[in-house]
Amino acid sequence: MSEELEGNCLVAQSGGPTSVINASLAGVVAEALNHECIEEIYGGVNGILGILNEQLVDLAAETQQTIRALRHTPGAALGTCRFKLKNQQDYDRVLQVFEAHNIRYFFYAGGNDSQDTADKISKLAQERGYDLRVIGIPKTIDNDLVTTDHTPGYGSVIKYIATTVKEIACDNAAMGQYDLVQIIEVMGRSAGWIAAGAALAKGRDEPNAAPHLIYLPEVAFSAEKFISDVQHVLQKEKYCVVVVGEGLVDADGNFVSTASASSDAFGHSQLGGAGEYLRGLVEETLQIKARAVSLGMSQRAAVHCSSQTDNDEAYLAGQAAVAAAIAGETDKMVTLVRGDGETYTCETGLTPLSEIANGVKKLPESWINEDGVSMNYNFYKYAMPLIQGEVKVPFENGVPVLAKLNMVKIPRKLGAHSFE
Amino acid sequence: MSEELEGNCLVAQSGGPTSVINASLAGVVAEALNHECIEEIYGGVNGILGILNEQLVDLAAETQQTIRALRHTPGAALGTCRFKLKNQQDYDRVLQVFEAHNIRYFFYAGGNDSQDTADKISKLAQERGYDLRVIGIPKTIDNDLVTTDHTPGYGSVIKYIATTVKEIACDNAAMGQYDLVQIIEVMGRSAGWIAAGAALAKGRDEPNAAPHLIYLPEVAFSAEKFISDVQHVLQKEKYCVVVVGEGLVDADGNFVSTASASSDAFGHSQLGGAGEYLRGLVEETLQIKARAVSLGMSQRAAVHCSSQTDNDEAYLAGQAAVAAAIAGETDKMVTLVRGDGETYTCETGLTPLSEIANGVKKLPESWINEDGVSMNYNFYKYAMPLIQGEVKVPFENGVPVLAKLNMVKIPRKLGAHSFE
């Protein structure tokens, strides 16, 4: 047991929101309240960007109802960012803000890039001899963080997608002769984790049910094979439901998307349009009616159809981050560790931030069937437990009741930061 | 009270499915079982098209569990069609099929075109002296049938859209500085009923909440005003959520959609692309990031987020259709009649099919605010009661349990129909 460290804690959120990133926030706040060595509980507005700007809010000033309602509120209640610290000046500024507000505990919920940021802040604090405990909280619908069995956010996005695919398939079954082919485009920039999750719409004993075809970024796309796959399905079934990940690439590694690819601040391409591309291919090549759905942001915001298992684990990850820091841990990220038994269990672990930063967990190719368009037993065994249970979202006036933080500002103590 | 008519009943579904068309089917079956003069309960496969082909199934052979599960199953369980009877030969064939199977009660769930078909069948039977009672059941997410206060299917589609818009807005609020403008395209070929329903995402006391702008087919679209509207929102808010109906038209009545417009069998244009068009306008004109979501089929299939009020009324409409026919009514459609009191109540009525056929109920322009992009009190008063209550969908293995009919075939008695 390490020496008790007294001071304030700061929690912030980074990257694209998930249905459960606010559940992690609730977990941090709830656990922080248990420890007297944590004096104030601050939130950083818009992730590291707001911290640079010394935009801190008082989370202890929020009501218990609000903190509880965070557990079923999408988005990132504190605001988020896609900002990367650019230079030594930026890093120095973060430490200045921390010192000015006596931040001794820093919790950062985010994906690879955000864990990298946390790692660098942690290392700088150590260099400077500033006593700071930094714990990352995993967050991404993309499920691509290494060393954790899965990431909070993933179970909910695939539960929503599997549900939506199953429902849309009923519509297609009824309309089969008119809308023969339905294309559903889902997120997944560099990996097929999300598209693969659509397989859960059908049971393992229903090989002919929808989705009939899943196109993953892991399998080089061939227009010829795609058309042949669709024809094959339509010979057996009266309609064909296709799921495609936005990051679909051809044999040369080029995105098949027809949309113009702009880039975000981290240099990732912003995709979209793979679904429309496949729809066009079907209509032009086969001269039959096809429709495309692009679920977009609704995928990561659909708390009304999110996984209770995922929600519980996200909350647990937030609590575990605080508990670890109190116990003296730093420069680590909370991981989700699956039990070995037949029945699914999950507890938290810790892993060095440096191992997470910029690592990418790939969808194992051995989980994809030989046909390249469906998932085998190993994927079902992995993913099925993650979508169990339905988060009960309270409704009022026919729509979900969502939390909104009061965002009580902490007075600034420093001047403005000069960004380069 | 009319004379008791003994014979078989036939129920069929037509046009695009809704979240609750199967609830109406369940209502028909449940009520038909109550009346001994109805001997067999048949379902017509794929609407009038399957009836022409003498494709009938035995609904009494389905289990009670299946009929109950229809209440939370999207699609059209019997299959549906967009087929219009083309000539006298087609109409004669329908009566031949009815005579061959002693069909004396015909219930047809559908929109304008389907009620028109039902009307013509009814009139032909009268001409020929064939004793047949025909009752239409209103069905359409478009809410455009005249004489009924609203249509089963509408409440559920707008509940799902309002929920989705509210959730996505949380994501945008968090990501505001990166994704400034979010465009959500919803269905609605010729009227803005569905797009208007997105207004329910915000309370009447939250004028500045999302959706900030709603573009309706009723208001001629001007690209200049749109850009100015978006700029105006972004001056006050850190993000802008736009909802657009797919049927948006310019001052000349031309669809703004960039998608190529093909036509369905009734000559309606199949739209899509208004959202992408607006996204492009924002990015090109304002040089800021915009995203577009196209919910497509998920809107009318999302039983997991459907309205209990809508579901109850759809079931009631099915029951009322049978009760009316038993009472001697024919050539009528069931309507939903709203009570006059302050508290919402709804009962069923009847209206001649000829009044429904090809009539279109427009969204009253007086319910649109002067800004042309938001709805006033009258719309809220009308629509709010329709989205109340959440249908409880059972989940198994993390996804909804949906009914599938066994579709026990009734042996054919006639030869094949020759389509022209």
Chain B interface disruption, residue of A307, A399, A402, A404, most B CBs within 10 A: A399
| Confidence (pLDDT) at B265 | 46
Which chain B residues are within 8 Å of A397, Cβ to Cβ? Answer: 200, 203, 384, 387-388
Which chain A residues are within 8 Å of B73, Cβ to Cβ? Answer: 170
Which chain B residues are within 8 Å of A384, Cβ to Cβ? Answer: 397-398
Please, what sign has the CA dihedral across residues B2, B112, B87, B45? negative
| Cross-chain Cβ contact A399/B298 below 8 Å | no
Active-site residue list of A: 142
Q: Is the pTM of this model over 0.80?
A: yes
The H-or-E segment that residue A136 falls in is strand A133-138
CA distance B199 to B213: 9
Phi and psi (nearest 5°) for A49?
-65, -45
Reported as a single tens digit per residue, the pLDDT across B291-330 is 999 999 999 999 999 999 999 999 999 999 999 999 999 9
| Cross-chain Cβ contact B170/A402 below 8 Å | yes
ipTM of the complex: 0.95
CA distance A136 to B133: 69
- Whether A269 has a pLDDT exceeding 80, the answer reads no
Phi and psi (nearest 5°) for B233?
-65, -45
B2 to chain A nearest CA, in Å? 36
- Cα dihedral: B36, B42, B47, B51 (round 10): -110
B188 to chain A nearest CA, in Å? 15
B131 to chain A nearest CA, in Å? 30
Phi and psi (nearest 5°) for A24?
-65, -40
pLDDT band with cut points at 50, 70 and 90 for residue A316 = very high
The residue of chain A nearest to residue B275, with distances taken between CA atoms, is A294
Q: At what angle do helices A154-175 and A308-326 cross, to 10 degrees?
A: 170
Which chain B residues are within 8 Å of A181, Cβ to Cβ? Answer: none
A5 to chain B nearest CA, in Å? 32
The H-or-E segment that residue A186 falls in is strand A181-186
Q: Which of A197, A179, A278, A280 is nearest to A234 (CA)?
A: A179
DSSP state of B4: P
Assigned token pair, A77: 């209640």
| Cross-chain Cβ contact A167/B388 below 8 Å | no
Which chain A residues are within 8 Å of B74, Cβ to Cβ? Answer: 167, 170-171
DSSP state of B307: B
Please, what sign has the CA dihedral across residues B352, B356, B358, B362? positive
| Confidence (pLDDT) at B102 | 98
Cα Rg of chain A, angstroms: 22
pLDDT tens string, chain B, 420 residues long: the values are 457 899 999 999 999 999 999 999 999 999 999 999 999 999 999 999 999 999 999 999 999 999 999 999 999 999 999 999 999 999 999 999 999 999 999 999 999 999 999 999 999 999 999 999 999 999 999 999 999 999 999 999 999 999 999 999 999 999 867 778 999 999 998 899 999 999 999 988 888 999 999 999 999 999 999 999 999 999 999 899 999 999 999 999 888 875 434 444 444 444 448 998 999 899 999 999 899 999 999 999 999 999 999 999 999 999 999 999 999 999 999 999 999 999 999 999 999 999 998 788 999 999 999 999 999 999 999 999 999 999 999 999 999 999 999 999 999 999 999 887
Q: Which residue type does A366 have?
A: S
Percent of chain A with pLDDT over 90: 86
Distance between the two ends of chain B, CA-based, in angstroms?
Answer: 42
Average pLDDT of A118-142? 97
CA distance A61 to A379: 43
Q: Specify burial of residue A292 (Cβ count, 10 A radius: 0-12, 13-18, 19+).
A: buried
| Cross-chain Cβ contact B297/A293 below 8 Å | yes
Per-residue CA distances from B385 to B23, B156, B364 (Å) = 19, 11, 18
| Cross-chain Cβ contact B17/A171 below 8 Å | yes
Assigned token pair, A369: 């069937």
The residue of chain B nearest to residue A21, with distances taken between CA atoms, is B171
CA distance B189 to B314: 22
| Cross-chain Cβ contact B400/A177 below 8 Å | no
Average pLDDT of A47-71? 97
Q: Which of B302, B276, B167 is nearest to A17 (CA)?
A: B167
Nearest to A297 among B162, B171, B307 (CB): B171
Which chain B residues are within 8 Å of A172, Cβ to Cβ? Answer: 75, 297
Contact B53, B417 (CB under 8 A): yes
Nearest to B175 among A17, A173, A303 (CB): A17
B313 to chain A nearest CA, in Å? 16
| Cross-chain Cβ contact B175/A80 below 8 Å | yes
Chain A interface disruption, residue of B83, B293, B399, B405, most A CBs within 10 A: B399
Assigned token pair, B296: 């497509």
Chain A interface disruption, residue of B81, B168, B171, most A CBs within 10 A: B171
Average pLDDT of A377-405? 97
Reported as a single tens digit per residue, the pLDDT across A331-368 is 999 999 999 999 999 999 999 999 998 788 999 999 99
Which chain A residues are within 8 Å of B78, Cβ to Cβ? Answer: 174
The residue of chain A nearest to residue B297, with distances taken between CA atoms, is A168
Cα within 13 Å of Cα(A327), Cβ side: 11
A184 to chain B nearest CA, in Å? 9
User: Between vectors from CA A202 to CA B71 and to CA A363, what angle results, nearest 5°?
Assistant: 140
The residue of chain A nearest to residue B307, with distances taken between CA atoms, is A398
CA distance A391 to B420: 53
| Cross-chain Cβ contact B307/A398 below 8 Å | yes
| Cross-chain Cβ contact B399/A173 below 8 Å | no
Find out whether the peptide bond into B211 is cis, omega within 30 degrees of 0.
Answer: yes
Average pLDDT of A103-121? 96
| Confidence (pLDDT) at B270 | 45
Which chain B residues are within 8 Å of A243, Cβ to Cβ? Answer: none
| Cross-chain Cβ contact A170/B292 below 8 Å | no
Reported as a single tens digit per residue, the pLDDT across A159-175 is 999 999 999 999 999 98
CA distance B75 to B243: 25
